[in-house]
Amino acid sequence: MAQYDNYKTALFEQFARVGKALCSARRLELLDMLLQAERTVDELASETNMSIANTSQHLQVLKQARVLESERRGNHVVYRVTSDLVGDLLASIQRFAEHGLAEVEAITRRFHEGCEDMQPVDRGQLMALAKSGDAIVLDVRPRAEYEACHLPFAESLPLDELDERLASLPRDRQIVAYCRGPYCVLAVEAVERLREKGFDAVRLEDGVREWQEHGLPLECAATESTDGRR
């Protein structure tokens, strides 16, 4: 019996290592970004407005739990997720929070107050619009994320380049913007800016991970294109 108890305790201590690594809002944010594309410490620090030292410390915790791995390239250290299971793990946490915590719904509702007319287009509508040529699909994530993996019919237009490239966008077709998924605000901000300038714009709530989960095709750097698996 003691042998069984020791085995069980040792096993659950290892499971707890992952839980401890994930019990930080900042680390979950970094993980969400790294699921889009690998990044250097400097890039992650800049995009999250954290110091390089603080960012590095969070990344080390995730690496020790084998959630991330790193590689030195010249003067930079690049981090990436260890496997697709990391995305499944984060998605499970998000789904559990959605269903179990009323605060998630309340926070989301408050954020979208006044945006009732900004209902997201669904993936079925988007496929039809893209196939017919009636819509332009914009990936408003940072370019590195687009280059790593994107929807096959999407154009890259990072949010920080949107204003300077407005003149190149057609006004006779609907524009669909997407980013990292339902909790990403980049597409929301892009649609707001586009509408202010008179464009017919809507957002796609899905990101690459959600597209992948439904087995839909993607274009990824590693394989040129996929059948929905990275």
Helix ranges (H only) for the chain are 2-22, 25-34, 41-48, 52-64, 85-100, 102-111, 123-132, 143-148, 186-196, 208-213
> Is the Cβ–Cβ distance between 194 and 177 less than 8 Å?
yes
Least Cα distance to 78 among 66, 67, 90, 70 occurs for: 70
Least Cα distance to 20 among 71, 65, 54, 63 occurs for: 65
The residue type found at 79 is Y
Residue 220 is among the residues annotated as catalytic for this protein: no
Task: Please provide the DSSP assignment of 35-93 as one string.
Answer: TTS-EEHHHHHHHHT--HHHHHHHHHHHHHTTSEEEEEETTEEEEEES-THHHHHHHHH
> Out of 23, 115, 149, 179, which one is annotated catalytic?
179
Phi, then psi, of 73 in degrees rounded to 5: -130, 105
The residue type found at 142 is P
Catalytic residue IDs = 179
